[in-house]
Structure formats: C-alpha cells, structure tokens
Amino acid sequence: MKFLSDQGNTSAAVIGMGYVGSTVAAVLAGEGVDVVGIDVDPALVAQLEQRRCWFSEPGLPELLYSGLDSGRLRVTTDYDLVADVDVVIIAVGTPVRDTELVDVYLRSACTELAKRLREGQLVILKSTVPPGLSRNVVAPLLEGSGLKVGEDFGLVFCPERLSEGQALQEMRTFPIAVGGWCPDSVAAAAAFWQRTIGAEIITCTSTESAEVVKLASNWWIDHNIAMANELAKLCAVLDVDVLEVIAAANTMQKGTGNVNILLPSVGVGGSCLTKDPWMVWRAARDRDVELNTIPVAREVNDSMPAYTVDLIVEELARSGKRLDEAKIAVLGVSFKNNTGDLRATPVLPVVNKLQQGGAEVTIYDPLADSGEVKRIFGLAPSETAREALSGADCIAVLAGHDRFAEIDFVALRESVAPSCVILDGRAYYSRETIDRFREHGFAYRGIGR
C-alpha cells in the first residue's frame, strides 16, 4: 500500500489532545496501537502525565491512564515525535468567531507537522472544517515540507461524529466516513481504521464531501431541535404535552427510518451545535448561496433560555410571587445531561436573567467541576442538593442528570417554599412522577408540558 506499510504494528500521532484527540488516542492505544499524543499546552500534557484528566467522558480517564501505564500512549509537547509514526491524526480546535473560522490552531499544527513530515505517512484531519479547507489550506501547508500530497504522503478528512457521553463506545462501533485526496489515501485510511478498531468505512468521493457530511449532521440536529422547541411553545399554549406528541409522531415511517423529532429543552449548548451551523452558513454565503434555515434555527434555540425564565416568572406569579422576592434552586448547569461540560451552556443565560430580575439563585451540579462553575457563573455551587433547595420557591432542573433521580423532592418538601414550582428544563419527568409532585403540593411546568 502506498501510504501505510502492510506489515507490523501501525503507529499513530494525535495532534491536539483535547476532548476529541484524547478520545481517539485512548481508544487506539487500547487497541494496541503505539500512540503519541502531541499538544502545545504543557499544562495539559503534565496533567495527563500525572494521571489527572478533567474530560467528563465516562471511561475516558481510565482508558487514557491504562494507555499511559502500558507505554502504548505517550503524551508530549515535542512535535519531533511525529517523524516516527505511520499515521498522523489532527484534532486541534477550530472555533468560529462571528461566523468566521478561527484557523490559527490548525494552520500552526500543519506548519509544525510539515517541518517533520516524512514520505509514506498518512495525515488524517479530524478537526471540523468548512468545505474546501483540507484541499485549499491543509494540503498546501503540508506541501511546505517539500513533499507532494497524493504522491509522497496521503491526506484524508474523517469527520469526528462522536457524541459526548457515549464517545468511547461510538468510536468502536460507528462507521467512519473517509474522504480522500486520492484513492491511495482513502485505501490507507480505510486499512488503518479497519486494522485498529475494526471500523466500517463509508467512502466519500472527495475531502469536500466528507467535510460536508460532518456539517450536514450538526445542521440537521440543530434544526431538528429548533423545530422541537417551537413545537413545545405551541403545545404549551394548546395545553398539550409535547412529549406525547413527539412520541406518537416519531412512530411514522419516512425515508429510510422514522420521523425523528428530537427533544425540546432549555437550549442548545456545547462547542459543536453552536458553531458548526455557522461554519456551513458562512461557507455557503462565500459562494453566494443564502442558507435561511441556519440563522432561524440558531435564533430559535438561542431564545430558549429566555423562554425558560418566562415560564418560571409565570409560575411564580400564579402563587403571587415576584421574581425579585424568589429563591430559585438550579439543578444541573451543564449543556448536556449526564456530563459536567459547561461549554456554551444555555443554563448560564438563564441564571444571568434570573439574577438580573432580582432572584436569589443557588446552583447544584454533582458532575460539574465546582471551580469551573464558580468561574463561569460567579456563584459558588452548593455542596448538596438539600443545601441548594433550602427555602426554594422554584426548583429548576436544567440538566437532567440520572443522578438527580436520587433526590426525592417529596421527602424534601418541608425544606422548600409551600408553593414551590418544579421547572423541568430537560428532565422529562414521567406523568406518574409529575402526578406525585402535584399530590405533594408542588406546581410543575416543563418546556412544552
């Protein structure tokens, strides 16, 4: 094979050991690949070396530490180690600022890599990028090595499609889309993923096609959630339970599957859904194509924190309470259930608005790092749910962590206000649980419920 030897152990370097890079590196090392993880952040490298990892992905710290203990995984800031490997995977951050890609990390990674690139190596780009970037930016930068893409080294784009919370399992089971510079690049990447993690390969006919695959997925998810959020707003005024509607609507067959309306919630956060749609919108606009659905969906999803606050105000008013005399206990501050990830969390604008309205706010999230919560929210989180709930007029469950099932609101009834409201921002309590809340004197309000 042109870019990957047919024999012996395959070795890999992962450039950018953040959430994605660490997941890929840990899984590969767990499958017996010799992996070197390279990151420009010496603090991150030192922490990994000291077996201190803050990624909230279940199982990831353990897998990283076992890779490091076995010697299969090494972490370093030293780019020189890329020269020894067969495959180089790039997973540095590609943020978007005001719809514009910030490509400085990616450019710098490619420039450093080009200084050490060796004949026969395969470069796999995993960072999310606008269509055309692999061909128009990455390839020329790598050719700064003096080597020719497609002849001396291979280049493919393989979108990262893992979802936080299930990333390790998905990395071992999800098909991998591969879009290559040339058939030899695709063949080498397919062989690499098949040999190492036994992945099913989906071949895309160009790097651009694979780049759009990633963006199309997140465009669809963001758009779908926006529809669910608007459906929830409609169901609320019709006094219809949106979850009942979604469950029934989703039984209808359409295309290759069923109608699949996702769930409404307090809002959309994280680093991907808030930026990838803008990346594709911008790419289209640069080519004189106006994508109208993207700004609309972003606006709808961004409206949900304010909508959630309105629901709280409305419910408080029913019992004659004003926001500026209320205490709100917020349970769950991460952007996603069952993670402690605070990146672009929609809970932050909710808390800010509640405080601007004069409410006293307490916060409890057993999964989020308390130092990070304090830094981002400017509030020290409570150590226990009981402490956060004490005297609350409203319990706002804004991340539906499974661990909150252990909190028995009914047993804590005496410690909250008599007319306490449970605001369900994404816990999606069952009808039975809601009836039980109501039997014990709680008011209940959900998004679209």
Ligand X SMILES: NC(=O)c1ccc[n+]([C@@H]2O[C@H](COP(=O)([O-])OP(=O)(O)OC[C@H]3O[C@@H](n4cnc5c(N)ncnc54)[C@H](O)[C@@H]3O)[C@@H](O)[C@H]2O)c1
Point out which span in 105-113, 241-249, 250-258, 314-322 binds ligand X (CB under 6 A).
Answer: 105-113
Q: Are 68 and 48 in contact (CB under 8 A)?
A: yes
Point out which span in 15-23, 205-213, 307-315, 403-411 binds ligand X (CB under 6 A).
Answer: 15-23
Name the region of 51 (left: φ>0; alpha: ψ -120 to 50; beta: rest). Answer: left
Give the whole-angstrom CA distance, residue 166 versus residue 183. Answer: 32
CB of 11 or CB of 47, closer to ligand X: 47
Among 19, 153, 192, 428, binds ligand X (CB under 6 A): 19
CB of 53 or CB of 323, closer to ligand X: 53
Give the whole-angstrom CA distance, residue 88 versus residue 37. Answer: 10
> Does residue 164 belong to the site contacting ligand X (CB under 6 A)?
yes
- Report the alpha-carbon angle 34-39-42, nearest 5: 120
> Does residue 114 belong to the site contacting ligand X (CB under 6 A)?
no
> Does residue 128 belong to the site contacting ligand X (CB under 6 A)?
yes
Among 58, 59, 93, 357, binds ligand X (CB under 6 A): 93
DSSP state of 266: S
> Does residue 89 belong to the site contacting ligand X (CB under 6 A)?
no
Number of residues that bind ligand X (CB under 6 A): 26
Adjacency order of strands within the sheet including 73-76: 73-76, 34-38, 11-15, 87-90, 122-125, 154-157, 176-180, 201-204
The residue length of the chain stands at 449
Among 57, 160, 211, 393, binds ligand X (CB under 6 A): 160
DSSP state of 136: I
Query: Binding mask 248-287 vs ligand X (x if CB under 6 A, - otherwise)?
Result: -----------------------xx---------------
Q: Given CA atoms 186, 188, 194, 199 in this order, what sign does their dihedral have?
A: negative
Residues 27-86 that bind ligand X (CB under 6 A): 38-41, 44
CB of 63 or CB of 388, closer to ligand X: 63
Binding site for ligand X (CB under 6 A): 15-21, 38-41, 44, 91-94, 105, 108-109, 127-128, 160, 162, 164, 271-272
